Homo-oligomer: A and B are copies of this chain.
Amino acid sequence: MKQLKAAVLGASGYTGGELLRILARHPYVELGPVFAQSSAGVLVSDLHPWAEEDMVFEATNGSEIDAEICFLALPHGEAMSIAPALLEQGKIVIDLSGDHRLKDGALYQQYYKKAPAETVVVNEAIYGLPEWNKEAIQSARFVSNPGCYATSAILALAAPLAEGLIDPKSIVINSMSGVSGAGRKSSVEYSFVEVNENVKAYRIGDHQHIPEIESVLSGIASQEVKVTFTPHLIPITRGIYTTINAQLANGATHDAFAAAFDKYYANAPFVRVSATRIPEIRRVTGTNFIDIYFQVLPDRDQVTIISTEDNLVKGAAGQAVQNMNLLCGFPETEGLL
């Protein structure tokens, strides 16, 4: 019954672990080799309790990987150095890093502080946001999985922007993220003592998801979209909570927002929109759902839109599997409910 063998590169991190958890129970996928350079030889279950007892991390140089599909859960900069070889070997590649998200190499350089990937490779990558790019994903062999913050912001804003309901220059995005978003790191900064009972904003006006959000939304809105984005680290393990404010455009009403969300997400299996239940992170923890809420504030000519997702699932590994499902012709929700 298994139709596909999948490898995970960068499997020792939290996103990699979540991929293993999801793939292990996917009915059409056989979990193949599991790579983590720095943990080669270590039992996978030492880091990820749900792994089978005898699975071991391996090292790889990218050649002779026994799998048809490769998930890259690698740090920025590393994914671009291995993706071309995998593509050349005919592998399907789903890259969870930011290396192939920005078509504009100069923006990559500016926000990632690194030389960009080769243009020809970047141009081959399909942006893996299933709710807005399903057809392209279905015929892709190389998917660039969206960023966690970007997913939460774009899915919340795309429908109203597509329908012209908000002023594309007035968008203010504030996000709170759990610590797993920073990856499994040896760092005082993410130690329990520093994070507990604390909140801290970071990379204000400079976060690498800003150009991703702006370029995707500009494409959807068919005009230039500019956002102000402030991410915050808060003392939870998993989850992103994104609160967005924007000026209403063209006298947009509550009903117009309801209609816009319905138009684009009525058949999106992982998007739950409500105008009555304010989202909570715990409703999406461990799931591939993104919950979206909107509230028009007519006396202020504003709308508040909130979205919440599990940064490791819809914000990373779950969305990657959703992309694989589309790309391979499996049901979109397979292994994700």
Contacts and interface: CB of A to CB of B under 8 A. Distances in A.
A267 interface: no
Contacts of A186: 186-188, 191
Contacts of A226: 300
A237 B192 contact: yes
Contacts of A302: 228
11 contacts: A172-B172, A179-B191, A193-B237, A197-B197, A198-B282, A199-B236, A199-B241, A204-B278, A228-B297, A228-B304, A234-B236
Nearest to A186: B186
The complex is assembled from copies of this chain, and their number is: 4
B243 A232 contact: yes
A239 B49 CA distance: 15
A197 B282 contact: yes
B196 A192 contact: yes
A212 to B, nearest CB: 16
Contact of A243 (B188, B201, B237, B287): B201
A22 to B, nearest CB: 14
Contacts of A280: 49, 198-200
A48 B232 CA distance: 21
Contacts of A198: 236, 239, 280-282
A: interface residue count bin: 35 or more
A297 B180 CA distance: 28
A257 interface: no
Given A190-B193, A197-B237, 11 more contacts: A49-B283, A49-B284, A178-B197, A180-B193, A184-B188, A186-B187, A196-B196, A198-B236, A199-B234, A201-B306, A234-B235
A208 interface: no
A295 interface: yes
A282 B306 CA distance: 27
A97 interface: no
A41 to B, nearest CB: 17
A234 B197 CA distance: 10
Given A174-B174, A295-B205, A199 B278 contact: no
Interface string A254-293: 0000000000000000000000001111111111000000
A330 interface: no
Given A191-B192, A192-B179, A245 B228 contact: yes
Given A186-B186, A300-B228, A239 B197 contact: yes
A14 interface: yes
Interface in A1-24: 14
A230 interface: yes
Contacts of A188: 184-186
Nearest to A173: B245
Contacts of A92: none
Contact of A234 (B174, B176, B205, B306): B176
